Amino acid sequence: MIATPEPDHDRKTELMAIDQSKSGIKGLVDAGLAKLPRVFVHDHLNLNIKSGPAPDNVKVPVIDFAGVNTDSTRWAMIIDEVRNACMKWGFFQIVNHGIPVTTLEEMINGIRRFHEQEPEAKEKLYSRDESKKVTFNTKIDMSQTMAAYWRDTLTCVMAPNPPDTQELPETCRDIMLDYTNNVMNLGTKLFELISEALGLNPNHLKDIGCTEGLYVMGHYSPACPEPELTMGTGIHTDSGFLTVLLQDQIGGLQVLHDNQWTDVTPIPGALIINLGDLLQLISNDKFISVYHRVVARNIGPRISIASFFRTYIQPQNALRMYGRIKELLSENNPPIYKETNVVDYFKFKHLKGVEGTSALAHFKLC
């Protein structure tokens, strides 16, 4: 998904103009944008793969968490459903997960308020400095030829060492703290279920650090004038252990399943859960991290909040090694991957600059 430069197209100048405006894609739209800037055009959208609604019997699993904390029979049933979803899809939606619908709605509204406030209020947070805990920017890559994504993003590193409260935008400060506290609690429960689904002690994944770090991205994608030419997010897998995604009712998220792009249909009050590469690595391919993408729409804004459980953001644990869990290995299930630390993994994945190819292959044993 790499845009081929045109002879008269000065990509760097166009990118710098967008970046220096510090107003994001919303600023372009508010200024009356009618035609997509060349830097957002994706020339290769892999049209060979079918896209759209899947047959009625092929849908991302929906798991009802009702009774997960109080009923041992339901707990066992939910573990089975989680196991099947993690083995076959790498994605599932959950309902009755314990986070109030009002909290979910207010989180979406909070991200909307942030992105729709006056440009001057957002400019002070506009940055590409990854050492900062709170930043706002547009998904563009100044150093490579990859096309830009049609989205603006507020990023907040919320665990294990959250930013000072005053660093969080006032427009969504309170709900960000409330929502992420709920997500952290839910994440602990999810890792317990996944641990048992792997046949491990329920605290196994927590004990090796999977629940420690939380990195939150609040995406805002305005209605696009030429949605067929660009992407909200390109083809990728998530890098960490687990992602909890809250999306509005506009949709656009698609999962690659059986060589078909399958829509993840929005369900009111639901959360989307997907596994990351490092969980596939430590589970020795028992559970999978799969390709997904977000298509652009001519309606909007589309708002989504992705909460990533991953550990590299805390320096003291950056070099911790992760490898296949020894309890999952046997003569019939030998190790597939070599050990790696999250710094090396992320460095390799994000320096490649190629969408639609798995970084996991680089870490396979010969």
Please tell me which of 31-35, 270-274, 312-316, 329-333 the model is most confident about, judged by mean pLDDT: 270-274
Question: Per the domain annotation, does 132 fall within a domain?
Answer: yes
Beta-carbon neighbour count of residue 15 at 10 Å?
A: 18
pLDDT at 346: 82
pLDDT, one tens digit per residue, over 296-319 is: 999 999 999 999 998 766 666 677
Question: Per the domain annotation, does 54 fall within a domain?
Answer: no
pLDDT at 292: 95
C-alpha dihedral sign at 123, 124, 125, 128: positive
Question: Per the domain annotation, does 350 fall within a domain?
Answer: yes
Question: Per the domain annotation, does 3 fall within a domain?
Answer: no
Question: Per the domain annotation, does 25 fall within a domain?
Answer: no
Question: Per the domain annotation, does 84 fall within a domain?
Answer: yes
Q: List the one residue out of 9, 12, 18, 17 whose CA is nearest residue 38.
A: 9
Confidence at 349, pLDDT banded by 50, 70, 90: confident
Q: What is the pTM of this model?
A: 0.93
| Average pLDDT for 95-124 | 97
pLDDT at 1: 41
State the amino acid at position 287 in one-letter form: F
Q: What is the CATH number of the domain that holds 326?
A: 2.60.120.330
- Predicted confidence (pLDDT) at residue 84 exceeds the cutoff of 80: yes
* Domain of 187, in residue numbers: 61-363
C-alpha dihedral sign at 180, 184, 186, 187: positive
pLDDT at 330: 94
Q: List the one residue out of 260, 85, 349, 154 whose CA is nearest residue 77.
A: 85
Provide the domain count of the chain.
1
Q: List the one residue out of 234, 245, 258 whose CA is nearest residue 2.
A: 234
pLDDT at 334: 95
Q: Is residue 284 within 8 Å of residue 325, measured between CB atoms?
A: yes
What's the mean pLDDT when you consider all of the chain? Answer: 90
- Determine what percent of the chain is predicted with pLDDT higher than 90: 75
* pLDDT: which is higher, 151 or 316: 151
Cα(78)–Cα(94) distance, integer angstroms = 10
Question: Per the domain annotation, does 232 fall within a domain?
Answer: yes
Q: Is residue 256 within 8 Å of residue 276, measured between CB atoms?
A: no
Q: List the one residue out of 307, 262, 305 whose CA is nearest residue 61.
A: 262
Largest interatomic CA distance in the chain: 65
pLDDT, one tens digit per residue, over 177-198 is: 999 999 999 999 999 999 999 9
Q: Is residue 4 within 8 Å of residue 43, measured between CB atoms?
A: yes
Question: Per the domain annotation, does 55 fall within a domain?
Answer: no
| Average pLDDT for 265-284 | 97
- Predicted confidence (pLDDT) at residue 64 exceeds the cutoff of 50: yes
Q: Angle formed by the axes of helices 101-116 and 173-197, to 10°?
A: 130
